[in-house]
Amino acid sequence: MRIWVYSLASVFIVSMISLVGITTISIDINRLKKILLVMVSFAVGALFGDAFIHLLPESYKTIGSGLTTAFLIIAGILVFFTLEKFICWRHSHVPEIKGHPKSVVYMNLIGDGLHNAIDGVIIGASYSVSVPIGIATTVAVILHEIPQEIGDFGILLYGGLTRSRALLLNFLCATLAIFGCLFSLVIGPKLNDFALYVLPFTAGGFIYIAGSDLIPELNKEIRISESAWQLASMALGILVMALLVFIK
């Protein structure tokens, strides 16, 4: 029972981090629009950093550097490509209306939802080993999620959602960590292998989102000053993810 209490309390805290975007509510809309591209740039760095610094190294360490890992990464890219094609096809048959979200909104919610579910699985499995390991894992996940959620909120706003809807969807997406944790606690240790095999798939999805959806949006801004801010924000997102390597 103690493991369940610790695990569920931890994933609830992790889920609440998704509401970090509420700190932007008091910002004037015109000023907010000016920093949206910077937030998206930060998200690009965080997504690339997460994939190349955390997810892929862990995949190669646990699964190996053979064809299995490579095919799972490629599968993540192809599946997200197919999902976006479907979304774009559906949108082409839906009349354009003001405020209609861009496909990047759905792509980001799918990718982030999968990531949150994995976080829940990992937290539940860690507490099943020991409470101290579970607490350490939870702290690492929290520090990992803060920059991720800031970027995610920026992506949802940039995709055309209102602030309130962006907060709601981001929070609902974050609650998948709770379901992942419950699944982990019920299924038990056998889920560890499943979670490991999902990591390279998620990395492929994140690489696709950052490279195919977000960077083209950033390339629409050609002013040197704004481009410099974008590059700096991307570098900051990567740096934050790199620093998390030293947190065990």
Residue ranges per domain, the chain?
A: 2-18+41-246
pLDDT in tens, 25-82: 666 666 766 677 787 888 888 889 888 988 898 889 888 888 999 999 999 899 888 8
56: which residues sit within 8 A by CB, 6+ positions away? 73, 200, 203
Query: What local confidence, expressed as pLDDT, does residue 132 receive?
Result: 78
Please give the structure tokens belonging to residue 7: 């695990």
Lookup result for tokens 């949206």: 36
CA distance readout (Å), 223 to 16, 17, 140, 210, 229: 36, 33, 37, 21, 10
- Nearest CA among 69, 54, 160 for reference residue 115: 54
**Are 107 and 90 in contact, with CB atoms under 8 Å apart?**
no
Which residues does the chain have with pLDDT short of 50?
91, 93-98
Q: Are 33 and 160 in contact (CB under 8 A)?
A: no
0.75 exceeded by the pTM?
no
What type of residue is 244? L
The dihedral of CA 201, 207, 210, 213: what is its sign? negative
The answer to whether 154 touches 36, Cβ cutoff 8 Å, is yes
Type and span of the H or E element at 96: none
Quick one: pLDDT at residue 88?
Answer: 62
**What pLDDT does residue 126 have?**
79
Collect all residues with Cβ–Cβ distance below 8 Å to 12 and sequence separation of at least 6.
178
